[in-house]
Chain A
């Protein structure tokens, strides 16, 4: 089974990197994260400058005596992590839209399902390759934060927490996109659904004002963003890991269900 999975994964990887879309997505994500991280860093440096400038504020602090609340974590990392999450939401459906839908449109899904591979293996390989791509995206965007984390003395462990959150979140969003792709033969439809579902799931603040307190609490529990914030602050909470892992597993299961239906037809 491992050999079959590996062969399919290799085929998927080749297919992914043979088309320019993967590179374009990587380019867009790395550029966006680089630019926004730089912007946060510049804003932070300006804030520091204001604090250190005599006469500009109520005082002006000597070098090294700026209050510790003004630090890279609060001013750069936490807002950057929020941005990075949104960017993942923007770029991932561009990758996931083709994974199943293209096979279905070309009719190669039937070849795949009659080749001896079971639907869950096909889904596992395709999901695995996409998660690997998410990992690549994150690695590309991690260079700048890693340099700043280590130089600011935040510690490598904090970076691990930050990127664990990004990876879990990215896999969950990708999984939703893959499930959408599995149920249609149109890449456009897969992309639209791949954007729409995570976008609606992102934050139910828009709905929570119009429903009861308990329903609002439930909606907050379901929202993607409410499970994402603590990772950037350096804390990995089991309940958030369970939430993202659950969404990822559900997406995979939905893909398997779609393949089973295709086979039954």
Chain B
């Protein structure tokens, strides 16, 4: 190699290396550009000079060989490029992950087929290739592009989101946004469950109507303070639902278009007529979500719920296993990770997808109204939990261990009930979800751990939108501690020292033999 091409190679390498070293400061700098350009020019000049001197060109036979092999190489290059381009359109892949993470589930595939017949605007999946999780999610988005021809999939930059998504809240982790016409839905953590849920929401013809009772000290959906509940209303709207107020005395019946009614931790009694309205609603096969806060008293808890077999205990649940997730570490901040495996409200929650339920009340199952009704506890505090009746002391964090005579054990905090009701002509299933906590849905806590999932699952189940919770995240549960520290260090010594040492000794032996 003469001087010019060698200098050219060095200059190109320096140019590329300087780009990588300084790209966070300023993209492709003049220095890098000049090096690459001059390097390429030197290479070209050097190559031409070499070619002129190339001995192969002197004879006719050599020239023929050169021409033939140049043509063969050019043809092979074209063939490889052609095959590569053709292969881009082929999405054949072998998914060897333990839980087939990048293979869409039958539910998603069935939904994709259904979407093909959907009238109106097409659904579009926008993939942000510069998002934090882009590398993790690209294969999953490619699986949607392959299996869902009814969906348009396109790459975009986070700096240029779809028009309809510009005002939506997104983070650097927002990697996928699903849109249909003017409606967009940023997918939180971009798993198959969440992307498919977004597709379901966008493909739904009618929004779920959620009525919230008001006028008895219930949670305030308009309050944006830390302890307010505006986030609940925003979340429901974002999920394509319609939250509405149900003004008690004014309503002689629950509106016919109500998919469910939420009684959000009332602090006062409801009027007897209001209770009667709710009773009639349930008897017709209505759906009810009740939240309850520690220390609250209302006839909803003491009269309505017991008639439907669900009871709410006084006191507050404390748990020594509860870690200090909030500023003041006390056992009152429950970390709930024990769930009934088949209950629809907690189906996708697990030991690794916990809830944070501060100041929770115990719930219990009472007597079934009819033998065919089904009552179930859906979530428990851990085996180290107990119920304190001394609210002031417990809420102040002064009670850190069970008092003498109180044995710790699992305490139920969420329960569900389903009841065959309606008339013989129009049978219906009434449903109730009782969550012994209201703080979990406050603005400051709704996005903590998996609180959002609990609320959404409850609303979806009550609103007969089971499809939305039927998909759970692929459940590969890795052993997160594959090696102990001692094993890690032992393997390290073997692989980073002992094995290389052996190889090096073999090398020295080979060198010694060569010299000998």
C-alpha spacing A147/B13, complex, angstroms: 37
CB–CB B6/A192 < 8 A: yes
CB–CB B93/A236 < 8 A: yes
CB–CB A237/B93 < 8 A: yes
Please pick, from B91, B323, B482, B488, the residue contacting A62 in the complex, using a CB distance under 8 A. B323
**A residues 24-83 with Cβ under 8 Å of B?**
24, 26-28, 30-31, 33-35, 37-38, 41-42, 45, 48, 54-55, 58-62, 64-74, 78
Interface string of A227-265 (1 = CB under 8 A from B): 001100111111100110011011001101100110111
CB–CB A238/B87 < 8 A: yes
Please pick, from A54, A68, A160, the residue contacting B352 in the complex, using a CB distance under 8 A. A68
Residue of A nearest to B513 (CB): A18
Contacts of A154 in B (CB 8 A): 98, 478
**A residues 90-132 with Cβ under 8 Å of B?**
none
CB–CB B65/A260 < 8 A: yes
Check: B337 CB closer than 8 A to any chain A CB.
yes
Check: A143 CB closer than 8 A to any chain B CB.
yes
Contacts of A158 in B (CB 8 A): 96-98
A235 to chain B, nearest CB (A): 5
Contacts of B135 in A (CB 8 A): 78, 229
Check: B111 CB closer than 8 A to any chain A CB.
no
CB–CB A34/B98 < 8 A: no
Check: B114 CB closer than 8 A to any chain A CB.
no
**B residues 175-201 with Cβ under 8 Å of A?**
189
Q: Known: A196-B12, A249-B80. Is A72-B492 also a contact (CB below 8 A)?
A: no
A115 to chain B, nearest CB (A): 19
CB–CB B329/A55 < 8 A: yes
Check: A193 CB closer than 8 A to any chain B CB.
yes
CB–CB A233/B139 < 8 A: yes
C-alpha spacing A37/B489, complex, angstroms: 12
Residue pairs across A and B with CB atoms within 8 Å: the count is: 254
B12 to chain A, nearest CB (A): 7
Of B16, B77, B101, B514, the most chain A CB neighbours within 10 A belong to B16
Number of interface residues of A (CB under 8 A): 94
Check: A161 CB closer than 8 A to any chain B CB.
yes
Check: B95 CB closer than 8 A to any chain A CB.
yes
Please pick, from B55, B77, B88, B353, the residue contacting A239 in the complex, using a CB distance under 8 A. B88
CB–CB B351/A186 < 8 A: no
Please pick, from B72, B495, B513, the residue contacting A144 in the complex, using a CB distance under 8 A. B495
Please pick, from A27, A58, A151, A210, the residue contacting B482 in the complex, using a CB distance under 8 A. A151
Contacts of A186 in B (CB 8 A): 1
C-alpha spacing A8/B259, complex, angstroms: 79
Q: Is the interface of B mostly helix, strand, loop or mixed?
A: helix
CB–CB B495/A152 < 8 A: no
Residue of A nearest to B89 (CB): A239
Check: B117 CB closer than 8 A to any chain A CB.
no
Number of interface residues of B (CB under 8 A): 86
Q: Known: A31-B500, A38-B496. Is A196-B13 also a contact (CB below 8 A)?
A: yes
CB–CB A265/B478 < 8 A: no
Residue of B nearest to A156 (CB): B96
Contacts of A87 in B (CB 8 A): none
Check: B283 CB closer than 8 A to any chain A CB.
no
Check: A221 CB closer than 8 A to any chain B CB.
yes
CB–CB A48/B481 < 8 A: yes
Q: Known: A38-B496, A157-B96. Is A264-B62 also a contact (CB below 8 A)?
A: yes
Please pick, from A23, A143, A160, the residue contacting B96 in the complex, using a CB distance under 8 A. A160
Contacts of B321 in A (CB 8 A): 62
CB–CB A246/B84 < 8 A: yes
Check: B9 CB closer than 8 A to any chain A CB.
yes
B128 to chain A, nearest CB (A): 16
CB–CB B495/A70 < 8 A: no
CB–CB B507/A24 < 8 A: yes
Contacts of B12 in A (CB 8 A): 196, 200
Contacts of A192 in B (CB 8 A): 1, 6, 9
Residue of B nearest to A33 (CB): B495
Check: A214 CB closer than 8 A to any chain B CB.
no
Please pick, from B23, B97, B352, B483, the residue contacting A234 in the complex, using a CB distance under 8 A. B97
Residue of B nearest to A67 (CB): B352
CB–CB A234/B96 < 8 A: yes
Closest 3 CB pairs of A and B: A23-B507, A246-B80, A34-B496
17 extra A-B contacts, CB within 8 A, seeds A54-B323, A253-B72: A24-B504, A62-B337, A65-B354, A143-B495, A157-B96, A192-B6, A192-B9, A207-B28, A210-B28, A234-B102, A235-B94, A239-B88, A242-B83, A253-B76, A254-B73, A257-B72, A265-B62
21 contacts between A and B (CB under 8 A): A23-B510, A26-B507, A30-B503, A31-B496, A61-B323, A66-B480, A73-B478, A78-B135, A143-B494, A144-B491, A153-B477, A205-B23, A206-B23, A206-B28, A233-B139, A235-B96, A235-B97, A237-B91, A242-B83, A242-B84, A264-B61
